[in-house]
Structure 1
Amino acid sequence: MVDMPAPCKRLVTGVLALLLVFSTQSVPATAAPPSFTHPGVLVSRPMLDFVRGKVTAKAQPWRAAYDQMAASRYASLSRTPKPRAVVECGPYSDPNLGCTDEREDAIAAYTLALMWYLNQDTRYATKAIQIMDAWSATIADHTNSNAPLQTAWSGVSWAQAAELIKYAYGNWPNSGRFGTMLRNVYLPKIAGGNATSNGNWELVMMEATLGISVFLEDRTTYDRAVAKYRTRVPAFVYLASDGALPKAPPGSGIDTRDEIIRYWQNQSTFSEGLTQETCRDFTHTGYGIASIADFAETTRIQGQSLYPEIQDRLRTAIGFQSRYELESPPSWLCGGAVNRGLGPVTEVGYNHLNTRLGITMPNSKIYTEGHRPQGTNNLFVAWQTLTHAQNPN
């Protein structure tokens, strides 16, 4: 800075600091809404009312998606929950001591809650409550190396189910105990994130954290989840504006060129929409894309949407992966061979970008419509053709 009187220096420094703050924030530092919208985790009442009308009218693709859900094991009224005090999950769920049981009971609770909302048969709400009550009366911890991931996967579905039952159905005496479970057993494992793991970990951890914070109306936790998400998304999806190299996850210590390339599965050529896990496989890439879209969707419902900030990354990520699900990759991408299997993860992002914003996405359209009805990945994504296909609300 050129020489100038001390008061002027302080003034200029202060102005520059303010400009820096405003240039890096597109949503308030306090991101939580003044009052929470319920139900408001991934789906809202207007969205579900739209779906109910389509299902009742037997319109497609909603009716086929509803029938798919209704025929699944997750919608069974004879389901017996399998809670455990300690769920132990090692790498790739080995050992699997309650891992599958917990994830699938959580998906079942969400499935049953959706079934109740759409068909108004109270037996489904009652069964969802039975499953959630069984777990909230039992679980105390998650252990082993996959504990944060397992906690997040299950936490996503628990929050979605609990939100519908508490705030739409309403007759749930043990809802407070379930909230205590989420606060004391789930949040401590996920709210701090995991900067050094593959990106899908921290993204789903933030998705679960956000959903739980909405259910609990916990503004502090909501704000922390938003802050971490806003730095993690740019470290997962590359844009040309990032420069020669992708952004590194803050706090990871991954900061040299060699370290970044290793972290990006040894991919050294970067193109818009490439993700940190594309050259690992499209399945794990899809997990990250799903969480990016689901998180943004919840913030939209809560009135302070993060879609404008991340939509270019989401659009290019869905489009890039969809393209190479449909055609052979070039030699510069992953050595000319990719492991496909994106999964049922594109409906939420595609609906916002295409239905609501009118953005043309040809590869994403072919992939998304060609895989309808998109069902569940049996981990944390479920029934998004039903809830989000062509949903303008």
Structure 2
Amino acid sequence: MHLLAPLLLLTAYLPTGYTAPSKWIHPGVMISQSQLDFVKNKVNSGQQPWSDAYNAMLGDKTMTPEHKPSPHTIVECGPYSDPDVGCKVERDDSLAAYGSALAWAIGGDKAHANHAIQIMDAYASTIQGHNNSNARLQAGWVGSVWARAGELIRYTDAGWDEDAIERFGKMLSNVYMPLTVNGTDQNVANWELAMNEAAIGMAVFLEDSASYNRAMELFKARVPATIYMKSDGDYPVAARGQSSDPDAIIDWWFGQSVFKENGQSQELCRDLEHTGYSFASISHVAETARIQEDDLYKTDIGTRLRYGLGFQSQFSNGKEIPDWVCDGHLNLTLGPVTEVGYNALSFRMGFDMPETKKWTLKERPVGTNGLFVAFETLTHAENPA
């Protein structure tokens, strides 16, 4: 079944140099079948850290049969969750669907598959839109998780009805894709990267080449404006719609005025938490692209991610903050966001990443961040597939 995005979206696209896969690979959003097989073998044989991570996931309160989805017709998300009309509920329900899909794909208990299907069907039959100032960010967070859950259930013989799949695809196309596919030029990298991630993941589920190309084009432009490399020159790359004037760049980077180390990140002087959201989305997109046979880890994107993870991890690990970094003051900590990127760049590709390794091992086994990062020790710790 091939589901297309609405025509009104397609007519808005600019020409792109990016080319979507000629043949889509499923499951293909952040985790592949070979990766699932690896995890399943480790869990079934009781090996660590996968066994503990799996059991911790099953212990999440949203994974029980008593958890029932609570979809809203219109989800209203204001700044700092004011107002919150269905926002946290929507995030929790999508994470529950994804966790249940993973539990089914790894453990084989049909009850988990049915739970994921129940949640996705409830939303596909109910939700019509998002509004207020954080609507696009919410759509990015939740859309990315729906795509992962939908891919796993659809392509693991879980018994999802074809009509239900069709409704779910229309929900992604009509409710989430319009808010995410064209990104944003706001001065917070994590917003656009979350939107890019959602649009790319949903495009894989929908086999929607136009949306995939558009979102990937924006993603590949945003990453260099998010993570600084000395090769960029005296100042970072300006993001879309922003001035390259030094004063504008400094303002964009939350007051950071000194750029001299590879891996400095755009929201660092805001806090490490939001910086970590950007790294998570970059890793997730790179993982999806790799599954679709375009290994972005081997490009400038992978290089920037590697240095970005290392530069930020050192401060979460307790290294003294130099005066030239955010005037010597940082809001810690990075969060459970390094597992996917560390696995790809260090475990699979062999790069030495001591600070990222230290932080990753300290955080295991990671659960969710309540937004869009979920169960990544289980899915990506030392996963060679």
TM-score normalised per structure 2: 0.93
Out of 234, 251, 255, the residue aligned to residue 224 of structure 2 is: 234
**2:191 aligned with 1:201, yes or no?**
yes
Match of 1:331 in 2: 323
In structure 2, how many angstroms separate the alpha carbons of the residues matched to 1:369 and 1:186? 34
Out of 333, 340, 343, the residue aligned to residue 348 of structure 1 is: 340
Q: What is the number of equivalent residue pairs in this alignment?
A: 365
- Residue by residue over 1:322-373, the C-alpha shift from the partner in whole angstroms, topping out at 9 and shown as x without a partner, is 1011212001111111111211100000000111111111111111011111
* Stretch of structure 1 that moved more, 54-63 or 304-313: 304-313
In structure 1, how many angstroms separate the alpha carbons of the residues matched to 2:243 and 2:205? 34
The alpha-carbon deviation at position 197 of structure 1 amounts to 3.4
**2:182 aligned with 1:185, yes or no?**
no
Aligned partners of 2:110 and 2:158 also within 8 Å: no
Match of 1:73 in 2: 61
Residue type matched to 1:198 in 2?
V
Unaligned ranges ≥5, structure 1:
1-27
Out of 341, 348, 351, the residue aligned to residue 359 of structure 1 is: 351
* Stretch of structure 1 that moved more, 166-175 or 274-283: 166-175
Match of 1:275 in 2: 265
- Residue by residue over 1:270-313, the C-alpha shift from the partner in whole angstroms, topping out at 9 and shown as x without a partner, is 12111000110000000000000100000000011222221110
In structure 2, how many angstroms separate the alpha carbons of the residues matched to 1:77 and 1:153? 24
Aligned partners of 1:237 and 1:275 also within 8 Å: yes
- Residue by residue over 1:52-98, the C-alpha shift from the partner in whole angstroms, topping out at 9 and shown as x without a partner, is 11011111111111111010123212211000000000002210000
In structure 2, how many angstroms separate the alpha carbons of the residues matched to 1:196 and 1:100? 23
- SS at structure 1 position matched to 2:25: coil
Out of 305, 311, 323, the residue aligned to residue 314 of structure 1 is: 305
Aligned partners of 1:125 and 1:169 also within 8 Å: no
In structure 1, how many angstroms separate the alpha carbons of the residues matched to 2:239 and 2:359? 29
The alpha-carbon deviation at position 122 of structure 1 amounts to 0.3
Match of 1:289 in 2: 279
In structure 2, how many angstroms separate the alpha carbons of the residues matched to 1:77 and 1:52? 22
Out of 137, 145, 155, the residue aligned to residue 133 of structure 2 is: 145
In structure 2, how many angstroms separate the alpha carbons of the residues matched to 1:248 and 1:352? 27
The alpha-carbon deviation at position 195 of structure 1 amounts to 1.1
Match of 1:20 in 2: none
**2:383 aligned with 1:386, yes or no?**
no
TM-score normalised per structure 1: 0.91
Aligned partners of 1:248 and 1:255 also within 8 Å: yes
Question: Where do residues 365-376 of structure 1 align in structure 2 (5 Å cutoff)?
Answer: 365-376=357-368
In structure 2, how many angstroms separate the alpha carbons of the residues matched to 1:285 and 1:31? 29
**2:200 aligned with 1:210, yes or no?**
yes
Match of 1:87 in 2: 75
Match of 2:246 in 1: 257
- SS at structure 1 position matched to 2:75: strand
In structure 1, how many angstroms separate the alpha carbons of the residues matched to 2:286 and 2:238? 21
- Residue by residue over 1:196-223, the C-alpha shift from the partner in whole angstroms, topping out at 9 and shown as x without a partner, is 2300000000000000000000011111
The alpha-carbon deviation at position 169 of structure 1 amounts to 2.7
Residue type matched to 1:181 in 2?
M
Aligned partners of 1:112 and 1:125 also within 8 Å: yes
Give me the CA root mean square deviation. Answer: 1.0
Match of 2:150 in 1: 162
In structure 2, how many angstroms separate the alpha carbons of the residues matched to 1:197 and 1:262? 9
Match of 1:42 in 2: 30
- Residue by residue over 1:74-125, the C-alpha shift from the partner in whole angstroms, topping out at 9 and shown as x without a partner, is 3212211000000000002210000000011000000000001111010100
The alpha-carbon deviation at position 131 of structure 1 amounts to 0.4
The alpha-carbon deviation at position 170 of structure 1 amounts to 4.4
In structure 1, how many angstroms separate the alpha carbons of the residues matched to 2:62 and 2:337? 18
Match of 1:130 in 2: 118
**2:160 aligned with 1:172, yes or no?**
yes
Match of 2:293 in 1: 303
Aligned partners of 1:31 and 1:304 also within 8 Å: no
- SS at structure 1 position matched to 2:156: helix
- Residue by residue over 1:143-177, the C-alpha shift from the partner in whole angstroms, topping out at 9 and shown as x without a partner, is 00000000110001100000001111342120100
Aligned partners of 2:306 and 2:341 also within 8 Å: yes
